[in-house]
Structure 1
Amino acid sequence: MSRYNIAVLVGSLRRESFNRKLATALARLAPQEFTLKQLEIGDLPLYNQDDDADQPAPTKRLKAELQAASGVLFVTPEYNRSIPGVLKNAIDHASRPYGQSAFAGKPAGVIGVSVGAIGTAIAQQHLRGVLAYLDMPTLGQPEAFVQAKEGLFDEAGDIGPNSRKFLQGWVDKYVAWIRHHAK
């Protein structure tokens, strides 16, 4: 039985997204008492503050899922040296109206994968600034700027042998972070 339910926000809508594959593979590295569930963010309308008084149904669903979670894992690609609009839109929806953020106090982790040599380093730094404002204690070390290259994933979609030790270590630190901070 799962003791820790982790909300996973993947910042890509692409069917064959490396970040979605990474999120799925990382979930398999987590201990049994952790359930990592990827939340739907592609159905959210563009955030409009005029809707704060009566938020759209997809926003209400997202906020309820986040509020029920023990922590949040952000798996982000890097678009134009920042986070994707779809991820920022989801963050804006779930953090509003002011004073009713579904993120406040939730422990977080940030990771991502890209074909570029620096992975998603700059997007992750931008996201960390947003999470600090949202009052989310965020795992600082180890940082994981993963490059999508041959062998990252095996035939079954698991982490390949060359990256397994590093990413298992990252998951282990994230799990310890959640255990320490989850309410």
Structure 2
Amino acid sequence: MIDEEAERLLLIVEDDQAFARTLQRSFERRGYRVVAAASHEAVAALLEDEDPGFAVVDLKLGSASGLVCVQTLHAHDPEMQIVVLTGFASIATAVEAIKLGASHYLAKPANTDEIEAAFTKGQGDIDAPVTTRQTSIKTLEWERIHETLAETDFNISETARRLGMHRRTLARKLGKRQVS
């Protein structure tokens, strides 16, 4: 017999407390029981007592990567529906999130409807349109920066070194395109 409450238990992993509270209230109104964590350590401790069926994980948790949380959550329960939210969307981090067990990846700002829809979208869409849009040099640069950020576990200094640019230049480029 399946416990209905356990099926509707949602874990929000977010270091922005105001955003986490907003998401929590919104999902509680939809009938979810919500627990929250702001770090990987808090997630690991929470999993000792709770067994969520759903998780929303911020990609950047302070100076740490939320991908570690995705990996831990997937290892805990491979059937868990995990949605990664990020203000720093890139192809590289999306691919890594999916490889580590996320079921979906959304760029901020994402609302509760979009997140809940992502939970129910278990399979890919073979009818998704393939665009013929040309990729600009700025987009390629942006994706390379984020690929390198993911490789360095979001260490700005190491990323700048690997890309051969000054740390302030990298910080300025990241600040220009930040979505959150």
TM-score between both structures, scaled by the size of structure 1: 0.47
Bigger Cα Rg: 2
TM-score between both structures, scaled by the size of structure 2: 0.47
Give 1 or 2: higher helix fraction: 2
